[in-house]
Amino acid sequence: MTAASATPAPPAAELPPVTPVAAAADPGFTVDASRLRAWGLMSALALLDQGLFSGAGFLVNLLLARWLVPASYGAFAVAFATFLFVSGLHNVLLAEPLTVMGPGRHSGNLPAYFRAQFVIHFVLFGGLALAGVLTGLVAWRMVPGSPLVGAIFGSALMLPLLLLVWLIRRMCYLLQRPGIAAAGTFTYLVSIVIGLAALHHFNWATPFLAFLLMGAGSLVASGVLVARLGSSQHPEQRNAISWRAALRENWSYGRWLVGSTVLSSASTQAQIFFVSGLLGLGAAGILRAVQIPSLAMVQMITAGGLLLLPIFAQYYASGAIARLRQRAALTGALMAAMTLLFAGLIWSVDVPLERLLFAGKFAPYAALMPLFVLMTTAGGVSQGLGTALRAARMPHFDLISNAFAAPIAITSAYFFTKRWGLTGAVFSLTLAYAVQCAVTTICFYTLLPRGSGADDLANPGIDLKRVRASRS
């Protein structure tokens, strides 16, 4: 639902292991300057990777919105929203289980474990791709002239390739190689830029070819990542890992997250489907286009959560609960203030900004751009408080908040869109964000222990006994 939900929190394996201090009298360990520099470098590389990957998606959406007629871009937006839903399932069934289970159970045999995950990837999402192609055939028989047909075919055919690069980037993080992930993502971005330039030059821009371009870029980037990872691996053990056994392991971990993913997708993507159904694909294209500036703020909020999660986790592990609560509340307030300032900036320049981005194509709807940014204020608060709850190993708050937000989002999306058109869809999404923020705030103040300032002063470092007890 929020940026935190949309983008999974970085796994603990991204960070270098913390080593004990040599002094025998100190039963715990501290974090020295060199380790902080290492954390800072790895966090910077992870954020660079995230920024490059998000930038590629931002560029594709922006240029297609500028080049295509609203109906064609609306078809792309609907197919892309479906892809985002499937990518959420891919995350909870492959990427997150790989990150969590891989280091603990398969650290001595990671190459074989990775191969098993590749098989799972192509079995599960190759099957979904086939289902998507069949859906496209049905759409072609029913509405042969609709631009949605090409969008469905393109997204279905490229689905396994589009998600493959996501999986391999997560493998890079598991191996503590965010620099390799960033290199592969840079390759993806360059491929996208070259491909978009070719599509524009030959006037070939269509939803179908746009998805083929992203799939081809993902394939090239995946090849670079696999080559770089292969050269950085240690000699592997020759113990084969059954992909069926790995799938059962993934399911045992991810099955509880499937519900949260479905609810989160319903909260954030229901509006685009109701707009396309009630108002037409052209209206869906307009809605997605005017939402693009707010995506930059969503990415900034997400990046802030990624950067702060390991710091908040250290507060929790050391028993500095009061400090964690204070920093989380301050972070939420600062992120909310940042979104308000950005919304004010967009409001002051909405008309010239629309001309700059879309050459006047969506001028009557320029006023919706600051409204979309404004709605991320609630997302900023949720990100600050939700990051603390994740650091405190309470991710179930996300399921609780989305369980409240999703029904409201779906209901309001239908009735608000039917009554107020595109503005109603914006209000629906804003309401969903507000409900999610309210429930997250309640979870933060009820689930997270209060702690005390005295505890913080008594535990400036990280206590091993406390960490072991919290994990047991």
pTM above threshold 0.75? yes
pLDDT class of 232 with cuts at 50, 70, 90: low
Looking at residue 116, what is its pLDDT? 93
- Angle separating helix axes 464-471 and 281-317, nearest 10 degrees: 130
Looking at residue 16, what is its pLDDT? 37
Other residues' Cβ atoms within 10 Å of the Cβ of residue 40: 11
Looking at residue 462, what is its pLDDT? 39
- What tens digit of pLDDT does each residue of 439-450 get? 999 999 998 887
Contact between 5 and 398 (Cβ < 8 Å): yes
Contact between 322 and 20 (Cβ < 8 Å): no
Query: What residues does each domain of the chain span?
Result: 3-471
Report the pLDDT averaged over residues 130-157: 94
The DSSP secondary-structure symbol of 29 reads B
- What tens digit of pLDDT does each residue of 45-102 get? 877 888 888 889 999 999 999 999 999 999 999 999 999 999 999 988 998 888 777 8
The DSSP secondary-structure symbol of 92 reads I
Determine the straight-line distance between the first and last CA of the chain, rounded to whole angstroms.
30
Question: Which of residues 340 and 465 earns the better pLDDT score?
Answer: 340
Sign, CA torsion 457/462/467/469? negative
Taking alpha carbons only, the member of 91, 109, 374, 118 closest to residue 253 is 91
Chain length of the chain:
472
Contact between 27 and 467 (Cβ < 8 Å): no
Tell me the C-alpha distance between 389 and 447, whole Å: 8
Tell me the C-alpha distance between 343 and 370, whole Å: 5
Q: What is the rounded average pLDDT for all residues in the chain?
A: 84
Contact between 463 and 318 (Cβ < 8 Å): yes
Report the pLDDT averaged over residues 237-247: 81
Looking at residue 378, what is its pLDDT? 93
| Residue % of the chain over a pLDDT of 90 | 58
Looking at residue 202, what is its pLDDT? 95
Other residues' Cβ atoms within 10 Å of the Cβ of residue 33: 7
Measured at the CA of 53, the angle between CA 234 and CA 437, to 5 degrees, comes to 110
pLDDT class of 406 with cuts at 50, 70, 90: very high
Measured at the CA of 297, the angle between CA 329 and CA 442, to 5 degrees, comes to 30
Burial class, 127, CB count within 10 angstroms (exposed 0-12 / middle 13-18 / buried 19+): exposed
- Which of 92-101, 138-147, 188-197, 246-255 has the highest mean predicted lDDT (pLDDT)? 188-197
461 has a pLDDT exceeding 80:
no
469 has a pLDDT exceeding 90:
no
Report the pLDDT averaged over residues 354-378: 93
